[in-house]
Amino acid sequence: MKSPLLSILFCTVAGWAIATAQVKTPIVIPFTKTGQGHILVKAHVNGVEGTFIFDTGAGLNLLTKKFADKVASLQKTDGFFVGHRATGEAIETDIWIIKDLQLGNFQAANQKTAVLDMEFPIDGLISLMPFKHGALTIDYAQSHLIVESPAALQTMAVASYSLPLQVVDDRDISLEIATYVQLNNKVTAQISLDCGAGWNVFRFSARYMKQLGIDTTQTTNVYARSPFDTTKGNHYYSTTLQELRTTTPGAGVKNIKTTFIDGLIWEGITSINWLGDRITIDIPRKRLLLPRK
């Protein structure tokens, strides 16, 4: 887990097979974007509507206890899952089953979720797990999530850059995505792609600072204690990175505000919007599709 708000979702293949078999034409799920760049979607959990952050870095779904208490037929299992924040701290949660998860006209059955007793201004998080067996487009320009049909995906692929995607699938329990990028044309790093981080967020392991020639005395250095264990904490070094780009043609940004973190368990974690206004995540084929400019 990358934060205390991280989701915990499990997906059953049978439930998803029903959902994907019905995608004859693309399914559009509208969203709104917060000032920090988070994607907010409406979803029905066993018929109860709530507002959720769609989060590609969450790994698993999450319901707040306040919302879960409203949901009938939410079934607690004997299972549990131990996730980790990006700085390594373990978070353990029980697992519950959602019989019916709906986002607009998209439906997925028998999903699993964490329930956490926490103060949160919305009702939880939706991860990539419900979309594991298909392709999902984030269209920032139109404020849509789009569950792609096979025909639409085939047409799109012809007119797109294809970037290799690494899928972090933990026992059909947790699902995250990553790709390789180059930093200042010196370091190749594998980054977690995390739309739940917000807008234009770039974080990397402090291990790369020496390779990049970054002097810690010339950065803003903040020590922050863990919200879970105040005896522990991490140093956060803020500076400007000259360039970040994908290792294959597709996307890049320059002169970006960047944070290097001691103890980060990923090589890097970034938001996803820097890749462009329209990003297609094709998990079965392990690729990202970006429109050719």
212 three-class SS: coil
Q: How far apart are CA 12 and CA 99, in angstroms?
A: 11
Look up the pTM and report it: 0.89
pLDDT at 19: 44
Structure token digits, residue 146: 């789009």
pLDDT at 16: 37
pLDDT at 283: 96
Superfamily of chain region 9-150? Acid Proteases (2.40.70.10)
Blockwise average pLDDT, block size 10, the chain, 293 residues: 36 36 83 96 98 95 96 93 84 92 95 90 96 96 97 95 94 90 97 96 97 92 82 91 94 97 95 97 97 87
pLDDT at 232: 81
Q: How far apart are CA 98 and CA 10, in angstroms?
A: 10
Question: What residues does each domain of the chain span?
Answer: 9-150, 158-291
Contact 88, 14 (CB under 8 A): no
First to last CA, the chain: 34
CB neighbour class for 158 (10 Å; exposed up to 12, middle 13-18, buried from 19): exposed
Taking only the tens place, the pLDDT of each residue in 177-234 is 999 999 999 999 999 999 999 999 999 999 999 999 999 888 999 998 877 677 888 9
Domains 9-150 and 158-291 share a fold: yes
Q: Which helix (H) or strand (E) holds 64?
A: strand 61-64
How would CATH label the architecture of 158-291? Beta Barrel (2.40)
Q: How far apart are CA 143 and CA 126, in angstroms?
A: 16
Q: Exposed e or buried b for every residue in 13-32, given b needs 16+ CB within 10 A?
A: eebbeebbeebeebbebebe
pLDDT at 22: 55
What count of Cα atoms within 13 Å lies in the side-chain half-sphere of residue 100? 11
Q: How far apart are CA 195 and CA 53, in angstroms?
A: 9
